[in-house]
Homo-oligomer: A and B are copies of this chain.
Amino acid sequence: MDYKAVEVKDIEFIKSIINDSERVLVGENINEEYSHDELGGIKKVPDIVAKVLTTEEVSKIMKYAYENNIPVTARGAGTGLVGAAVALYGGIVIDLSGMNKILELDEENLTLTVEPGVLLMELSKFVEENDLFYPPDPGEKTATIGGNISTNAGGMRAVKYGVTRDYVRGLEVVLPNGEIVNFGGKVVKNSSGYSLKDLIIGSEGTLAIITKAILKLLPLPKKAISLLIPFPDLDRAIETVPKIIKSKSIPTAIEFMQRAAIVASEEYLGKKFPDSQSDAYLLLTFDGNSKEEIEKNYDNVAKICLDAGALDVLISDTEERQESIWKARGAFLEAIKASTTEMDEVDVVVPRNKVAEFVKFTYELEKKLNIRIKTFGHAGDGNLHVYILRDDLKEDKWKEKLNETMEYMYNKAKELKGQVSGEHGIGYAKVPYLKESLSRETLEIMRGIKNVFDPKNILNPGKVCE
C-alpha cells in the first residue's frame, strides 16, 4: 500500500487541531505500549499519537488524513489479542481512551449513552449503582466499550443474555472521510434500510471510528448464585452441557475448567480455590429476582449434573465466595501467560454440542505435535479459548509448530461448522484463517463493503478481510 509518509507539516497540522501539546505524541514521546496490544504478535510504532477528547477532533484528523492519504488506526485500552489496534503501516493512532465520559442515563428508555473510552468496569459499576444491568461480561474489565463494540465482545453471560451486539441501540461514528454520522438511536425497533449499525459492530475499526454509543440496559437481577461442579474428567463435564441446554434451564453462564488451570490460577493469585481435588469442573451461574426462583432453576440442573457423573455440587450464594471463584476464573489467561515464555491463542466458536469434540481434539494435538496447549472457555456458548505455549522452543521451531497447530485447529472448527472467532476478532493475527474459512464470494463482499466505506483504505489497513 502506498501511503504518504508523515512529515513535520502533518504533525503541525494535527497539533493545530488538538491545540494541546500534551495530547499529541511523536517520536520518543510515544510510549512503547502504543506499538502493540495484549497478544497480537505484531509490533509497530506509529508516527503520531493523537489523544482525542471530542468527536470533532476525530473528524478533523480523519478529514486531513483522508485528503493526504495517511493511514489511521483507532485505539482504546489496547487489551486486544489479535493486533487490531496496531498501526501496521504507521501513520496516526487516534487514542480514544480519553473520551471516557458517561453522557446520559435515560431511565425512561433504559439506555445509557457513553463515549467510546469508558472502561467496561466503570460502565458496569455505574449502571449497577443505578439498579440497572449491562449484561455483556467479557473477562477483560479494563477494555473500553468502544473496543468491545468493535469486536462484538461476548463474555461469560452470553448463554442467557447474548453478546455486545444485542445491547447496542445506536452509534455515532466518524467515517474515513471525516464525516460524522449516526446509525440507529434510542429506538427499540428499526427497519429503516440496511443496518449499518450492525455492520460497524464487530468491524474492528476498519469501517469507521466509533465516537458515541447508545446502549440498551436491563433491570438488575436481584440475586445470583454460582454452582461449582466437580467431575472425574473433562469429557464428562463438557458432555453434560448440551443436556443442561436441552433441559430448558438457561443458566447465565456455563464455564468449564481443568485442575491445571485452577492450580496455575491459585499460584498466580496466591489464593486457594474452594476445591481443586477433581480433574475438571463446570462453573455455572444463575440469576433472577428471588432465591426461590433461582433455586427452582438450578435444582434441576444440579440433578442433571449428578446423573451425568458429577462428584458433587458446591453452591456459592454469598458474594465473597462467588467473587473468589470468578476471580480465579478471570485470572486464567494471566496465569497461563505467566507460566510460559510466549503464547498465542485460538478463539474459535463451535455449536455448543461440539465443544467436547473440539476439546478432545486439542488433547490429541498436544500429544501428536508435542506442544503444550491449555484450554478453557465458555462451554455454554461454544466459544473456546485455546492457548498454545512456546515454553523453551527456539524461534523458528515455535513458529513452525504454532502454525501447524493453528492450521489443525481452524480446520477442525470449520469441519464442526464453527467460526474463526467467537469474540476476540480477526485483527491482524487471524486474517489468513478467516480467508481460509470463508467462501471467495463472502470475502469479496466484505472487501467490497470495506471499499464503500473507505475507498482509499486509510482506516486500520491490513486488518480483518484484507
A residues in contact (CB < 8 Å) with B? 106-110, 131-132, 151-154, 158-159, 162-163, 165-166, 175, 179, 181-196, 198-199, 201-203, 207, 218-220, 242, 245-246, 248-250, 289-290, 292-293, 296, 347, 349-353, 378, 380-383, 417-426, 434, 437-439, 441-442, 445-446, 448-453, 464-465
Q: In the complex the two chains form, what is the Cα distance from A352 to B289 in whole Å?
A: 25
Q: Which chain B residues lie closer than 8 Å to A445 at the CB level?
A: 175, 196, 452-453
Further pairs besides A194-B207, A198-B199, A449-B449: 11, Cβ < 8 Å: A106-B351, A159-B188, A181-B441, A189-B382, A190-B421, A191-B423, A192-B420, A193-B465, A194-B203, A219-B249, A293-B293
Give the nearest-CB partner of A150 in chain B: B191
CB–CB A202/B191 < 8 A? yes
Q: Which of B199, B352, B378 contacts A199 (CB 8 A)?
A: B199
Q: In the complex the two chains form, what is the Cα distance from A179 to B438 in whole Å?
A: 14
Give the nearest-CB partner of A151 in chain B: B191
Q: Which of B179, B218, B437 contacts A441 (CB 8 A)?
A: B179
CB–CB A108/B242 < 8 A? yes
What are 5 A-B contacts with C-beta separation under 8 Å?
A162-B166, A165-B195, A191-B425, A194-B465, A289-B296
Given A175-B441, A199-B199, A449-B452, are A158 and B351 neighbors across the interface (CB < 8 Å)? no
Q: In the complex the two chains form, what is the Cα distance from A448 to B110 in whole Å?
A: 34
A-B residue pairs, 5 tightest by C-beta:
A448-B452, A219-B248, A198-B198, A108-B242, A188-B381
CB–CB B199/A419 < 8 A? no
Q: How many copies does the complex hold?
A: 2
Q: Which chain B residues lie closer than 8 Å to A179 at the CB level?
A: 439, 441
CB–CB B108/A189 < 8 A? no
Q: Which chain B residues lie closer than 8 Å to A153 at the CB level?
A: 191
CB–CB B352/A188 < 8 A? yes
Q: Which of B166, B196, B203, B450 contacts A166 (CB 8 A)?
A: B166
Q: Which chain B residues lie closer than 8 Å to A166 at the CB level?
A: 162, 166
Give the nearest-CB partner of A194 in chain B: B446
Chain B nearest CB, measured from A112 CB (Å): 14
Q: In the complex the two chains form, what is the Cα distance from A438 to B245 in whole Å?
A: 42
Q: Which of B132, B192, B296, B448 contacts A437 (CB 8 A)?
A: B192
Q: Which chain B residues lie closer than 8 Å to A378 at the CB level?
A: 189
CB–CB A188/B158 < 8 A? yes
Given A181-B442, A419-B185, are A192 and B246 neighbors across the interface (CB < 8 Å)? no
Q: Which of B201, B352, B421 contacts A195 (CB 8 A)?
A: B201
Give the nearest-CB partner of A133 in chain B: B248
Q: Which chain B residues lie closer than 8 Å to A242 at the CB level?
A: 108-109
